[in-house]
Chains A and B, each alone.
Chain A
Amino acid sequence: MIWDNAFAVSIIPQLLQGLVVTVEITLLGTLIAALLGLALAILRRLAIPVVSQVVTFAVVFIRGTPLLVQAYCAFFVLPDYGISADAFTTGAIVIGINYSAYMAEVYRSGIQGVHIGQWEACTALGLPATRVWGRIILPQALRTVVPMLGNYLIQMFKDSAVLSAITVVELLGTAQAIGSSNFRYLEPLTIAAILFLIISYPSSRLVNRLERRYAPQH
């Protein structure tokens, strides 16, 4: 198969639309993962008897099964039980929940990295739990989490291609659709790969810089 320049140029607008969907789903998924991951990390730390075990099990389950399987279940099985949403929403939620299990671990290590003396000072001052977490512990824990969050964001950006399997028309899904309707896969897939790279490479450079900036100060 020989590269067809005219065809390649003609499909770029459509692929860019797919890229926009990929970026949207990544940002939404990251938001869900960041918030839910934080909630999971705090819940585990609070060590409430049953809740902690449920959270631990959920994390093990999510990390132990492939994202694709989770996406299929959410999209094809849950509607049988009356829970359904469009592909985009389902995709964002599934990938968000999936990554929250990994983010929770990142938060956990960030929280653990805060010196025990900080907790003791809070106890000595009698600060309420909301202040302890919101003003004292998390601001210190999150410093180390920021670059890791960036790494997961980039990984999610690439992983979101999996969601084409549940008909989300993101970048890969768009490329596949173009390919099957024109019987030409070379151009759409190549351009899709380049578009993934154009976003992910500078982003990982940025994350590296963040990593250096937020490195724990000693």
Chain B
Amino acid sequence: MRPSTEPVPLQTGALSESELAKPGPIIAFENVSKSWGSNHVLKSLNFDVQPGEKVSIIGPSGSGKTTILRILMTLESPSEGLVSVDGDVLWNVAPGEKPKETRQLRQTRRKIGMVFQQFNLFPHMTALENVVEAPIHVLGMEKAEARERAADLLNLVGLSKHMNHTPPQLSGGQQQRVAIARALAMRPKVMLFDEPTSALDPELIGEVLNVIRNLAQSTDMTMLMVTHEMRFAEEISDRVVMFDHGRAVESGAPEQIFKNPLEERTRTFLRAVLQR
């Protein structure tokens, strides 16, 4: 759905000003396709996320889950289709056309933060330096203010003792929490998580999931998460979307997807992963 331009009645006091100005989904994929050669990874995908919604994406390996997040983060371009975020067009690629960056791409991208499977922290910089880098050099924040906020964020993810450690000195779980703080420091409206715990040793998964759970429960940030942690997805999501072969096969409340899936494909997938 294209975000509608109709004015919204003013009595919707729960919405913030920017949301009043731009009603409709905060993330919208319209007929988005992505191919690498003959590998059609996304096929005419239509997919929306509402402001503040916590959505988990599940599905088998290679179904295109990461690709969706990477297109939103502009790390990948769609072969075709329209992607908008917060009412701004991020990608608009006509069939047969070469994908071109839209004019507002850079501005729009600032509304999105991403947490990677492999953390991707800057290894030669301390945790604090990792977190203050973008606020100072992208948002133009004063150094002192940026450091103060970064310290708060590192405290929030339970790392106040490790602010001056570099990534190689931190455990995987700690690194991922720094990465979450780094993304949060940009005050994104949308946070993307790509299997944030799958590179971690089992005993470190919990600490990262706790941080994400707290975020989900305490903020109105929109969260889109690819995960294999089914119980966690069930617990924190407003909605779960099942992907297969580049299509959203089924989408619904977590209870429905996990307890009562409508699609046979969802059922067989869940049976396979939950057995482990």
List residues of A whose CB falls within 8 A of some B CB. 115, 117-118, 120-121, 123-128, 131, 135-136, 139-140, 217
Contact = CB atoms under 8 A, between A and B. Distances in A.
Give the secondary structure class of B's interface.
loop
A124 B133 contact: no
Contacts of A121: 116, 120-122
Contacts of B133: 125, 127, 131, 135
A126 B120 contact: no
Contacts of B134: 125-127
Contacts of B114: 124
A127 B182 CA distance: 13
Contacts of B122: 118, 121, 136
Contacts of A140: 123-124
Interface in B63-77: 73-75
Contacts of B75: 120, 123-124
Interface in B102-158: 106, 109-110, 112-114, 116, 118-124, 133-134, 137-138
A127 B125 CA distance: 15
B226 to A, nearest CB: 15
Among all A-B residue pairs, the 4 with the closest Cβ atoms: A117-B120, A125-B134, A121-B120, A124-B114
A139 B120 CA distance: 15
B42 to A, nearest CB: 19
Interface residues of B, number: 25
Contact of A139 (B109, B124, B182): B124
Interface of B: 73-75, 106, 109-110, 112-114, 116, 118-124, 133-134, 137-138, 168, 182-183, 186
Given A124-B73, A124-B113, A125-B134, 17 more contacts: A115-B120, A117-B118, A117-B120, A118-B120, A120-B75, A120-B116, A123-B75, A124-B75, A124-B120, A125-B138, A126-B106, A126-B110, A126-B138, A127-B134, A136-B122, A140-B123, A217-B168
A136 B123 CA distance: 9
Most buried by B among A125, A131, A135, A217: A125
B188 to A, nearest CB: 10
Nearest to B73: A124
Contacts of B73: 120, 123-124
User: Which of B106, B118, B120, B186 gathers the greatest number of chain A CB atoms within 10 Å?
Assistant: B120
Contacts of A125: 133-134, 138, 182-183, 186
Contacts of A126: 106, 109-110, 134, 138, 186
9 contacts: A121-B116, A123-B75, A124-B114, A125-B133, A125-B182, A127-B134, A128-B137, A140-B123, A140-B124
Contacts of B113: 124
A193 B9 CA distance: 89
Contact of B116 (A117, A128, A135, A139): A117
Contacts of B74: 123
B138 A127 contact: yes
Nearest to A125: B134
Nearest to B136: A131
A141 to B, nearest CB: 11
Contacts of B110: 126
Nearest to A131: B137
Nearest to B134: A125
Identify the interface centre among B74, B121, B122: most chain A CB within 10 Å of its CB.
B122
Contacts of B119: 117
B134 to A, nearest CB: 4
B135 to A, nearest CB: 9
A103 B274 CA distance: 54
